[in-house]
Amino acid sequence: MKTQVMAAAVAALLAGAAGPASAQVTDVEVGLIKADVNGDQMLSKGEVVLDAMQGFVASDLDGDGVLEATEVGEEMAADPEFTDNDADKSGGLTVDEVVEEKLADFQAIDTDGDGLLSLDELNAAYAPKE
């Protein structure tokens, strides 16, 4: 898995920079670091949209600008979020639908309303509850 390779690379980087205490890198942190273009450890709206669009292009296997159920996989297509994001109920997600959803998520995650998502805010939204 690509994610694991990234996680290992990021863990190695952080371990070098901040000592062994940071060797444990969560999926949330990996996602933040991958999307954080300017490296300020916060996600701006632009960074979130860019990341969403890159993910979209990577998933849109036939390049028709629509993510079909077959492209996202059965599990994802069965997710209520997929049907929910499919605003026009066409059975596929367009870039507009994906970006709109990301921006709605952004507002919800940005609890202090400063227009940036911090690791704390991302953890509160995505980290698995123990």
Q: Give residues in contact with Ca ion (CB under 5 A).
A: 36, 38, 40, 42, 60, 62, 64, 66, 86, 88, 90, 110, 112, 114, 116
Q: How far is the CB of 19 from Ca ion (least distance, A)?
A: 23
Report the residue closest to Ca ion, judged by CB. 90
Nearest-CA neighbor of 94 among 128, 68, 113?
A: 68
- Considering beta carbons, is residue 16 or 65 the nearer one to Ca ion? 65
CA distance 130 to 113: 26
Q: How far is the CB of 91 from Ca ion (least distance, A)?
A: 7
Residues 6+ apart with CB under 8 A from 54: none
The alpha carbon of 45 is separated from its chain's Cα centroid by a whole number of angstroms, namely: 12
Nearest-CA neighbor of 25 among 36, 10, 13?
A: 10
Q: How far is the CB of 85 from Ca ion (least distance, A)?
A: 8
- Considering beta carbons, is residue 19 or 89 the nearer one to Ca ion? 89
- Considering beta carbons, is residue 23 or 41 the nearer one to Ca ion? 41
- Considering beta carbons, is residue 23 or 54 the nearer one to Ca ion? 54
CA distance 104 to 59: 21
User: Could you tell me if 120 and 42 are in contact, meaning their C-beta atoms sit under 8 angstroms apart?
Assistant: no
Tokens of 3: 């994610």
Q: How far is the CB of 128 from Ca ion (least distance, A)?
A: 21
